[in-house]
């Protein structure tokens, strides 16, 4: 058993108005808001951050955003910065999600700017990496993950590593109902931890959390979370409903 506390983060994507988000957060807080042995982060859309922040206030549940711009302010119409997120009590930010890479053409270099900016403003980046089905079938999984990880973390140091969370999310498993087998996931998680050890030293890598994401739900979570290098989950679909998300949290606790 590792000493790393499991982390379960809910990525609501472009779902939930602020009223819907408040209702969902309230149910989650009632059920698991006092749990100490697992860390829970809710990542609503920007428009629901403030409402959700109020609902989770005083509980153990934390707040994350789904994206941000690297600059602190300026002429970037439609964008949101790290200081704006901090002002709403966000502690985490998902960066480099595969949907942002695929639909908004985000590159490793741009994601890296965001990682650096997040750290500078005391936000904990949840850096997402993962291969597409074509890349897996071509035998390129580890190469792709290495490029994304090294690109996204360029210029960070071992003192900052404690604030970083990595999420391995095979693109072919996101929102598809196809989950990676626990062996497939563990292989990549162990590889990522090895890369983190090279970047930051072995003891630092042993303390870092690496989450699995991709159709994780109560039915498959226990086996995934039992793997040596899987330290929690980044949950999409199953985080949109209190019952399944609470169940996942209880499995991780």
Q: CB of 169: closest distance to ligand PEP in angstroms?
A: 5
Query: What is the DSSP secondary structure assignment for residue 37, as one 8-state letter?
Result: S
Neighbours of 139 (CB within 10 A): 8
Closest CA to 218 of 199, 201, 193, 235: 235
Q: Find out whether 236 is annotated in a ligand binding site.
A: yes
Looking at the Cβ atoms of 74 and 177, the one nearer to ligand PEP is 177
Q: CB of 235: closest distance to ligand PEP in angstroms?
A: 5
Catalytic pick among 39, 135, 169, 247:
169
Residue nearest to ligand PEP (CB): 236
Q: What whole-number distance in Å separates Cα of residue 192 and Cα of residue 152?
A: 13
Instruction: Quickly count helices (H) and strands (E) in the chain.
Output: 11, 8
Q: What whole-number distance in Å separates Cα of residue 100 and Cα of residue 125?
A: 15
Looking at the Cβ atoms of 177 and 203, the one nearer to ligand PEP is 177
Catalytic pick among 97, 131, 135, 189:
97
Chain residues that interact with ligand PEP, rule: CB under 6 A: 11, 169, 174-175, 213-216, 234-238
Task: Identify whether 71 is a catalytic site residue.
Answer: no
Residue 43: both structure tokens together: 């990542």
Looking at the Cβ atoms of 15 and 59, the one nearer to ligand PEP is 15
CA geometry: angle 84, 126, 79, nearest 5 deg: 35
Q: CB of 109: closest distance to ligand PEP in angstroms?
A: 22
Task: Identify whether 169 is a catalytic site residue.
Answer: yes
**Residues known to be catalytic:** 97, 169
């Amino acid at each position: 058993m590792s000493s790393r506390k499991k982390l379960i983060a809910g990525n609501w994507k472009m779902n939930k108005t602020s009223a819907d988000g408040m209702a969902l957060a309230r149910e989650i807080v009632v059920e698991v808001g006092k749990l100490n042995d697992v860390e829970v982060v809710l990542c609503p859309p920007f428009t629901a951050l403030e409402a959700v922040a109020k609902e989770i206030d005083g509980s153990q549940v934390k707040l994350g955003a789904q994206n941000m711009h690297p600059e602190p302010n300026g002429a970037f119409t439609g964008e949101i910065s790290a200081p704006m997120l901090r002002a709403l009590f966000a502690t985490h930010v998902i960066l480099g999600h595969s949907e942002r890479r695929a639909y908004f053409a985000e590159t490793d270099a741009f994601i890296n700017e965001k990682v650096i900016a997040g750290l500078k403003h005391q936000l904990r980046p949840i850096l997402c990496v993962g291969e597409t089905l074509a890349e897996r079938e071509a035998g390129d999984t580890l190469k792709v993950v290495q490029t994304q990880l090294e690109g996204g973390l360029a210029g960070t140091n071992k003192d900052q590593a404690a604030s970083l969370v990595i999420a391995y999310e095979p693109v072919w498993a996101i929102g598809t109902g196809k989950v990676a087998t626990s062996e497939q996931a563990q292989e990549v998680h162990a590889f990522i931890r090895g890369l983190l050890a090279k970047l930051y030293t072995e003891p630092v890598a042993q303390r870092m959390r690496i989450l699995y994401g991709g159709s994780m739900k109560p039915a498959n979570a226990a086996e995934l979370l039992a793997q040596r290098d899987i330290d929690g989950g980044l949950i999409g679909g199953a985080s949109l409903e209190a019952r399944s998300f609470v169940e996942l949290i209880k499995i991780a606790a």
